[in-house]
């Protein structure tokens, strides 16, 4: 089904290229005339009030285009739009100045991605002014510094003939607008304001989600950032703002930035869908499909550097529809399967797919240009930005709910098992009492008591090794593990490092916000440190109160100091939400390290770290201090 859709999309590119706005052979157009009076509006959309001439050789000059017998045709749509085409097109119209005096006007062509635009202003057969514009020429050569092609005119009284030639390796469009200068500058200011708002919002979302990624290390945020950045390149280039203000001299880069931006969006969208929807776990076929699309997108990005623009823009414009449709279809499939977190994903990508689809179809010439059509992708991306924030948050909540449900089911099974076990023990005891009667009555009671005591002791031992608040090892667990690792390190002659950490001013948190707030801080801190202490053999435990301890095997003092500093920075940046507030706190660290031997006990290692922690507390807190390294005592004379 997906391969069929791909073939359909590529066929659509071929069929639509160069077909929009065509007229039957033999139809001819007179000079379209636009009257200008004192009551004319300050902005006039030329629209279809223009004739065009097909130049399939791209060699016609002005005199040849204006020669008698040329087949000038009327425009069939609301504005000239010929989609992707290799042909050049000539346009002509007459501005009839009926005011009796010279009129300053500005002619705007709001399609900044056209390669070659030439305008000739003629009065009674003589060329009054001419302009040569296009995105393949340095931006500094433009008559007016503006992202769009802007041509200032001084219209003489009477009829002024405008002849324009447009050629491009992409789409050819000419939705011309005629402005009074003051109105044009006012409208440009409003457009700049809107563009600045869109640009600012996208940049803010990139920076914000980058910080979220650095805090959560969730790869989905990175894919999302890549997608927004790719769209920002595409949007800025397509609307001319990048060429005007970022790279006005980089003509080659400006010509390939649009397909690179589109391919980058396809790449990030494919990776995001694959990761966010967990396709590798739920559907190997869908996972391979999105991975294939990601590789194709990467190849398109690379090919934009060497393949002609006219080819790569067609393929990328069609391929983004395929990627969007596949990602959206798989999202609805996952939602239908029961993945509740996919609902906001589907809504967000539906908004983007509609926006990009409208824009792409417009570029092929199927839709006329207007405000909604021209800004469809911007509207879609803004909706995507808002809805994806709900999407990512919703998936986190869904995963949390699933974990809680799994824990609840496990607890119910454990309770049922304990109940069954107790019933079995009771039945056994009853049977034994019945068989042994009075002779074995006291023995059976004693055995039952011993069994119950053994189960209680096993449960107590498990509970005694785990801190109930933070769900990490407790003091007893640490003491037992420290002795074991001390012996192993002494035998292998490996360094053993100990990191003792204490929350700064923890009593102030409890006194200000209450003990539940302190508990929330302890849980958040334990969760943060648990993610960092992942190496086999290393252990994390709650040492007591607001103190935590980390034991690092085969680690030098430098290794421990580096990790402690990372912990200190991460804790200082940690935000703990509690009852509508965000709690922050810092921590002090004491670090000690040594190669244990029979003369260096575990308690001495703890004592060194504790003294270093005491020094950190008295050095202003929120810092790391190391204990002085212990020197191995020289062997006594006569001792091998």
Give the DSSP per-residue string, 100-115: SS-EEEEEEE--TT-S
CA count, 13 A, side-chain hemisphere, 219 = 10
Distance (Å, rounded) from C-alpha 505 to C-alpha 125?
Answer: 87
Which one from 108, 173, 485, 546 is the annotated catalytic residue? 546
Distance (Å, rounded) from C-alpha 313 to C-alpha 548?
Answer: 57
Distance (Å, rounded) from C-alpha 254 to C-alpha 368?
Answer: 26
Distance (Å, rounded) from C-alpha 184 to C-alpha 106?
Answer: 7
Distances (CA, A) of 608 to 537, 548, 587: 21, 15, 18
Question: Which residue, among 255, 268, 272, has the nearest Cα to 312 in the 3D structure?
Answer: 255
Distance (Å, rounded) from C-alpha 187 to C-alpha 178?
Answer: 12
- 212, 218, 224, 230 alpha-carbon torsion, rounded to 10°: 90
Distance (Å, rounded) from C-alpha 134 to C-alpha 149?
Answer: 8
Look up 546 and say whether it is catalytic.
yes
Give the CA angle between residues 282, 8, 356 to the nearest 5°: 75
Whole-number CA gyration radius for the chain: 37
Distances (CA, A) of 563 to 335, 392, 455, 556: 41, 30, 40, 11
Strands 496-503 and 547-553: antiparallel
Q: Is the dihedral of CA 183, 184, 186, 190 positive or negative?
A: positive
368, two tokens = 């006329």
Burial class (CB in 10 A: 0-12, 13-18, 19+), 620: exposed
Residue the block writes with tokens 């301890």: 549
Distance (Å, rounded) from C-alpha 571 to C-alpha 565?
Answer: 10
Distances (CA, A) of 521 to 16, 401, 586, 590: 61, 21, 11, 20
| Cβ 190 vs Cβ 375: under 8 Å | no
- 300, 304, 307, 312 alpha-carbon torsion, rounded to 10°: 60
Residue the block writes with tokens 């991975």: 291
Question: Which residue, among 570, 622, 564, has the nearest Cα to 593 in the 3D structure?
Answer: 564
Give the DSSP per-residue string, 297-347: HHHHHHHTTTS-HHHHHHHHHHHHHHHHHHHHHHHHHHHHHT-TTHHHHHH
Q: Catalytic site residues?
A: 546
């Amino acid at each position: 089904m997906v391969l069929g859709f791909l073939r359909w999309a590529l066929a659509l590119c071929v069929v639509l290229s160069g077909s929009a706005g065509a007229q039957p052979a033999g139809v001819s157009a007179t000079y379209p005339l636009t009257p200008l009076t004192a009551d004319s509006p300050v902005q006039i959309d030329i629209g279809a009030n223009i004739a065009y001439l097909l130049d399939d050789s791209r060699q016609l000059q002005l005199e040849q285009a204006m020669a008698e017998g040329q087949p000038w045709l009327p425009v069939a749509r609301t504005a000239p739009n010929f989609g992707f085409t290799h042909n050049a097109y000539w346009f002509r119209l007459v501005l009839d100045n009926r005011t009796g005096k010279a009129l300053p006007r500005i002619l705007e062509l709001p399609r900044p991605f056209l390669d070659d635009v030439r305008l000739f202003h003629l009065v009674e057969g003589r060329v009054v002014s001419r302009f040569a514009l296009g995105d393949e020429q340095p931006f500094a050569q433009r008559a007016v510094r503006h992202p769009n092609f802007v041509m200032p005119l001084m219209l003489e009284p009477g009829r002024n003939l405008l002849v324009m030639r447009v050629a491009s390796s992409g789409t050819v469009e000419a939705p011309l607008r005629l402005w009074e200068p003051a109105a044009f500058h006012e409208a440009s200011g409003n457009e700049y304001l809107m563009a600045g708002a869109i640009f600012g919002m996208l940049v803010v979302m990139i920076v914000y989600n980058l910080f979220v990624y650095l805090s959560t290390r969730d790869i989905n945020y990175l894919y999302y950032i890549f997608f927004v950045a790719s769209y920002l390149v595409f949007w800025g280039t397509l609307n001319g703002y990048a060429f005007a203000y970022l790279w006005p001299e980089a003509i080659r880069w400006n010509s390939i930035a649009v397909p690179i931006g589109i391919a980058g969006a396809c790449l990030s969208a494919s990776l995001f869908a694959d990761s966010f929807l967990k396709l590798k776990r739920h559907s190997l076929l869908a996972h391979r499909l999105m991975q294939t699309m990601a590789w194709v997108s990467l190849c398109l990005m690379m090919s934009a550097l060497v393949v002609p623009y006219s080819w790569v823009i067609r393929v990328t414009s069609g391929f983004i529809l395929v990627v969007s449709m596949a990602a959206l279809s798989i999202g609805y499939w996952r939602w239908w399967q029961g993945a509740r977190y996919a609902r906001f994903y589907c809504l967000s990508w539906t908004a983007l797919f509609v926006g990009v689809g409208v824009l792409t179809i417009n570029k092929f010439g199927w839709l006329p240009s207007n405000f909604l059509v021209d800004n469809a992708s911007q509207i879609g991306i803004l909706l995507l930005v808002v809805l994806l924030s709900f999407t990512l948050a919703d998936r986190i909540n869904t995963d949390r709910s699933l974990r809680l449900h799994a824990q609840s089911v496990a607890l119910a099974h454990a309770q049922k098992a304990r109940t069954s076990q107790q019933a079995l023990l009771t039945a056994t005891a009853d049977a034994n009492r019945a068989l042994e009667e009075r002779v074995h009555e006291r023995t059976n009671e004693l055995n039952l008591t011993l069994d119950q005591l053994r189960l209680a002791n096993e449960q107590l031992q498990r509970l005694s090794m785990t801190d109930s608040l933070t769900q990490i090892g407790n003091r007893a667990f640490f003491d037992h593990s420290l002795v074991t690792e001390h012996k192993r390190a002494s035998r292998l002659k490996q360094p053993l490092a100990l990191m003792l950490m204490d929350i700064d001013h923890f009593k102030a948190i409890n006194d200000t916000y209450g003990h539940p707030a302190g508990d929330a801080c302890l849980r958040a801190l334990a969760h943060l440190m648990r993610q960092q202490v992942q190496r086999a053999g290393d252990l994390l435990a709650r040492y007591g109160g607001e103190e935590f301890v980390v034991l690092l095997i085969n680690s030098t003092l430098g290794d421990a100091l580096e990790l402690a500093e990372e912990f200190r920075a991460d804790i200082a940046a940690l935000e703990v939400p509690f009852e509508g507030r965000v709690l922050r706190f810092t921590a002090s660290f004491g670090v000690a390290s040594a190669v244990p031997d029979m003369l260096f006990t575990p308690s001495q290692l703890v004592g060194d770290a504790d003294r270093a922690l005491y020094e950190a507390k008295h050095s202003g807190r929120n810092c790391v201090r190391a204990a002085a390294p212990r020197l191995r005592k020289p062997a006594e004379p006569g001792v091998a």
